[in-house]
Amino acid sequence: MNNSRPIDVLEKARGKKVIVRLKNGSDITGMLQAFDLHLNIWLENTEETKNGNVTKLGSAIVRGDTIVLISPE
């Protein structure tokens, strides 16, 4: 059984593509660059998908209190 903490999973995902679901229903995908203990995250090469529409965002910082889930791709 793996006893990793959730923050350890994020640390292993640094530099890899992640999917972030937000409270407003949109999904953001991008390369995880950094995060803090409040789960504010910095993503590069970011795209937002909402209602089937995809918008390229480039660099983005996502506030932790807007995040529902983060999943390594």
- Total tally of structural domains belonging to the chain: 1
**Cα gap 35→54, rounded to integer Å:** 24
Q: How confident is the model at residue 66 (pLDDT cuts 50, 70, 90)?
A: very high
Residue 46 lies in a domain: yes
3 has pLDDT over 70: no
- What residues make up the domain containing 30? 6-72
- Confirm whether 28 is domain-assigned: yes
Whole-prediction pTM: 0.87
> 27-48 burial, b if ≥16 CB within 10 A, otherwise e?
bbbbbbeebeeebebbbeebeb
d(CA 29, CA 9): 17
Q: Is the pLDDT of residue 1 over 50?
A: no
Question: Which pLDDT score is estimated for 33?
Answer: 97
Structure token digits, residue 70:
């983060």
Report if residue 1 sits inside a domain.
no
Interval 24-61: pLDDT, tens: 999 999 999 999 999 999 999 999 999 999 999 999 99
Task: Select from 46, 33, 38, 45 the least CA-distant residue to 63.
Answer: 38
